[in-house]
Structure 1
Amino acid sequence: MPTQSSPSLMQRLLHASLVKQILVGLLAGIALAWLAPSAASSVGILGNLFVGALKAVAPLLVLVLVTASIMNHPLGRKTSLGPILFLYLLGTFSAALIAVLVSFMFPSVLDLKVANVQITPPGGIVEVLKGLVMSIVSNPFRALIDANYIGILAWAIGLGLAMRHSADTTKTLVTDVSVAVTKIVRVIIRFAPLGIFGLVAETLATSGFSALYNYIHLLVVLVGCMLLVALVFNPLIVFFKTRRNPYPLVFACLRESGVTAFFTRSSAANIPVNMNLCRKLGLDEDTYSVSIPLGATINMAGAAITITVLTLAAVSTLGIQVDILTALLLSVMAAICACGASGVAGGSLLLIPMACGLFGIPNDVAMQVVAVGFIIGVVQDSAETALNSSTDVLFTAAACQKS
């Protein structure tokens, strides 16, 4: 009987999870920069190609995802999910606001290439709002070409609302286009290990190993914000809702939902786990059968933190001054962006340029920030998903168990 040969090391690497592949690329980039700095500088083309592909697909992704989502929402659907939806939105906005405060207390600095980029930061909230309005009325084709994410979002919302009465065949076509673009994004992200390898090797070769400190500092700020939300602010929200000790429920959600989501890195994949946990908690099935899938789409506190912290890291690096009202507007924008995060790994990162647009940061610089997000994504994306998914059950249970 013929024996089956064991897979080679290369085959195991190619079929390993994306997290493991990115980790290998990260370590390989560090090793190359340490052992052969001159060679490390030359592989930067891999990072440039990866960032360029992200820059090309991100505007189209935002347009089709938001349009399809709004267009396919059933007309006149009546639900009793008002309190849960309110908690979802409150939690996401609160997370963004906390991320703003922590970022001000512990500012992060990134290694960005801005030598040939003209940056004109806004002078205050009035100028920010003026730029926001002018971006909204931008020509849609110009918005796509210039990666004007505010304009893209405005046109996507308008098209989605206008097409809600379209024929089913039209809705199917737009949905199919959305699925196709999402598949292209997944293909590009599969090349993230090579892109990370090139980015890390070139960055460390040119800026030195002190750049690693900046990555670690940024990651600590991100994870610290997520822990603060999960262990302090979410329990406060649940307490005010239920008037009971929230921590038994908080720890149950983190243990039975958060741990699984940390390793799957997908809120959608964790829906069956959350459904089973709701069943164990004795919640109303008619409620959680809707609120859990809904939460996997719009309850995105972790994504709001990621968008806010990375945007403010870019702002801090570029020396842009931020007033209180602009910071508040950023929190609102981050919460809205987070609700539109795509269902692929790293989806929240692709919405960072939209938030960067508030501060006049051009797309070329914003996409470098996205690339930094992929570098630390080995931990960041896992922690983000764990917070998002565990909070779905937490807020559903809080609304169902209201005293």
Structure 2
Amino acid sequence: MLCSAAIHPGLFTVKHNFKKENNMALILKLIAGIVLGILCGLYAPNALTQLLLTFKALFGQLLFFVIPLLILFFITSGIAALPRNSGKLLSKTLAIAYGSTIAAGTLAFIVASIVVPMLTTSASAAPSATGVSLTPFIEMNIPPVFSVMTALTLAFVFGLGIAATQAQQLKQVSDQGRDVIQLVLSKVIIPLLPLYIAGVFAQMAAAGTVFGTLKTFGVVLVLAIVLHWAWIITLYVIAGIKAGRSPFSLIKNMLPAYFTALGTMSSAATIPVSLQATKANGVKPHVADFTVPLCATIHLSGSTITIVSCAVAVMAMQNNLEIPSLFTMLPFILMLGVVMLAAPGVPGGAVMSAVGLLGSMLGFGEAAVALMIALYMAQDSFGTACNVTGDGAIAVLVDKAD
């Protein structure tokens, strides 16, 4: 599939407007969900707020049940579909893209762990004197089939095994499983997210903690965008040194791809523009045709910056969570670069892939995960634009190492 993308970039243009409209509508619905939740928590009868909390609790169980299945099928399918017979070029691209993703996440953690606690404290998550603690009418436990780490291990065993043995039947099973989970995401999980977020904010509003949370939202969104551009500039300084060219000239040529990604909110949909911009930077056509479509799937530095920054903010807001040390956080960042390898082509796919790690490695509960989803979705397009723009720098580096 990735090789086909390299040959036929126009294939990604057909659904641009449809995807853009869907993503924009989702963002507006999420904002509406936040507003609805706050109004319900502040002014509605407690019974109505509890009804929202009941939906939130049940939806949360479904979400955590689906996540290990998402990791298993998407990563298995993604590894099995990696291009073959291009070992040298593939290994260089994978190494540089993964290194960029991990370094970006590390930078984001260092900066966020310093800046965020200065602007918000865990006290903002403490209920006010006038707040009330409400519970759902019904609670149900739906345990996942297996843990996130089991799913990840299985994905690598089967993904690498399918790639090595060319087991077409197993590949078909993984692809069909991926399609089923993507259908659940696109038809159930994503459409119901606004109500889930509404339940989270209704609970915070009733407890009297919502306004401190909203303040932190604004701080984190600005911080994430600043870090995106810091990383873009870093990548192009390195690429410029390697290529003997001005990094700002290289960035200027990639700006059409950046702004296209802001509009389409999709790395895949931006591939035609990214290819044109990358070739304008002097990258050999065969290198650009290989690296740009591949990096649209595997290079997620912008998404990693956002997830790590948002995770730090949520930990600062939650009384039961503490910001860990860099050495404690590094395994999470390393795993994050892996679980997002085949993030589904739906809005917020990266953060959905990361939900399991947030719970298993950082101790995030349902409320913390819901805040993460809301924070991430609010700036999904900026993270995507950072990913796409960085792809051009990786193409330059691979080209000069070829």
Q: Same fold (TM over 0.5)?
A: yes
Residues 191-230 of structure 1, C-alpha deviations (whole Å, 9 max, x = no match): 2222222322332222342322232233333333223212
Kept in 1, the 8 Å contact 2:332–2:361? The answer is no
In 1, Cα distance between equivalents of 2:69 and 2:193: 19
What pairs up with 1:23-62 in 2 under 5 angstroms?
A: 23-36=31-44, 38=46, 39-62=48-71
- What is the one-letter code of the residue matched to 1:202? Q
What is the distance in 2 between the residues matched to 1:83 and 1:162?
A: 22
1:73 to 75, 82, 100: 82
* SS of 2:89 mapped into structure 1: coil
| Residue identity matched to 1:204 | A
Query: Aligned AA for 1:66?
Result: I
Residue matched to 1:225 = 227
Code of the aligned partner of 1:375: A
Moved over 6 A (4+): 13-16
Q: Which piece of structure 1 moves more, 345-354 or 276-285?
A: 276-285
Distance 1:105 1:15, change over 3 A: closer
- Partners of 2:359 and 2:23 lie apart in 1 by 37
Q: Please, which moves more after superposition, 196-205 or 292-301? A: 196-205
> Counterparts in 2 of 1:388-403, with a 5 A limit?
388-400=387-399
Distance 1:99 1:248 in 2: 25
Residue 173 and residue 324 in structure 1: after superposition, are their counterparts in 2 closer, same or farther (change >3 A)?
closer
Equivalent position of 1:245 in the other structure: 246
Q: What residue in structure 2 maps to residue 309 of structure 1?
A: 309
**Amino acid across the alignment from 2:190:** I
Q: Check if 1:100 corresponds to 2:109.
A: yes
2: distance between equivalents of 1:220 and 1:172? 42
Q: In the alignment, which residue of structure 1 is the partner of 2:158?
A: 159
Contact 2:67 2:356 in 1 (8 A): no
Per mean C-alpha deviation after superposition, the further-off stretch among 84-93 and 183-192 is: 84-93
Change (3 A) 1:296 1:74: closer
Q: Is the 8 A contact 1:310 1:352 kept in 2?
A: no
Distance 1:251 1:358 in 2: 41
**Aligned residue for 1:235?**
236
2:340 match: secondary structure: helix
The counterpart of 1:322, out of the listed 324, 335, 343, is 324
Residue identity opposite 2:278 in structure 1? C
Cα distance in 1 for residues equivalent to 2:313 and 2:38:
22
> Is residue 301–residue 386 contact of structure 2 (8 Å, CA) maintained in 1?
yes
Go from structure 1 to structure 2 and tell me whether the alpha carbon gap of 1:240 and 1:150 turns closer, same or farther (over 3 Å shift): farther
For 1:261 and 1:287, the matched residues in 2 are separated by 21
Contact kept? 1:304, 1:337, Cα under 8 Å: no
Q: How does 1:3-402 map to 2 (within 5 A)?
A: 17-36=25-44, 38=46, 39-73=48-82, 75-107=84-116, 111=125, 144-145=144-145, 148-164=147-163, 165-187=165-187, 188-208=189-209, 209-231=211-233, 233-253=234-254, 255-316=255-316, 317=318, 318-320=320-322, 322-356=324-358, 359=361, 361=363, 365=365, 367-400=366-399
Moved more, 352-361 or 197-206: 352-361
- Paired residues, number: 358
- Alpha-carbon RMSD across the aligned residues, in angstroms, is 3.2
Alignment CA distance shift 1:204-1:230 (3 Å):
farther
Residue number in structure 1 paired with 2:136: none
CA–CA distance in structure 2, aligned partners of residues 358 and 393 of structure 1: 34
263-272 or 276-285, which deviates more:
276-285
User: Secondary structure at 2:344's aligned position in 1?
Assistant: coil
Q: Please, what TM-score do these two structures have when normalized by structure 2?
A: 0.78
In the TM superposition, residue 375 of structure 1 has moved relative to its aligned partner by 1.9
Quick one: which amino acid aligns to residue 235 of structure 2? N
Contact 2:74/2:174 (CA < 8 Å) preserved in 1? Answer: no
Q: CA deviation at 1:155?
A: 1.7
Provide closer, same or farther for how the CA distance between residues 112 and 370 of structure 1 changes in structure 2, counting only shifts above 3 A.
farther
What is the deviation of 1:96? 0.8
Indicate conservation of the 8 Å contact 1:278/1:393, yes or no: yes
Partners of 1:295 and 1:83 lie apart in 2 by 11
Q: CA separation of 1:330/1:58 partners in 2, compared to 1, >3 Å: closer, same or farther?
A: closer
The letter of the residue matching 2:198 is F
Residue 267 (structure 1) shift:
0.9
CA distance in 1, matches of 2:268, 2:219: 30
Distance 1:102 1:161, change over 3 A: same
User: Counterpart in 2 of 1:124?
Assistant: none
**Alignment TM-score, normalising by the size of structure 1:** 0.77
Measure how far apart 1:386 and its partner are.
Answer: 0.8
Q: Does the aligned pair in 2 maintain the 1:303–1:348 contact within 8 Å?
A: yes
The sequence identity of aligned pairs, in percent, is: 24
**Partner Cα distance (1:252, 1:77) in 2:** 28
Q: 1:389 to 1:37 in 2, by over 3 A?
A: farther
| Distance apart, 1:15 and its partner CA | 11
* Letter paired with 2:392: V
For residues 374 and 25 of structure 1, the distance between their equivalents in structure 2, rounded to whole angstroms, comes to 13
Q: Which amino acid aligns with 1:226?
A: H
Q: Take 2:23 and 2:85, find their aligned partners in 1: how far apart are those partners?
A: 45
Distance 1:59 1:112 in 2: 32
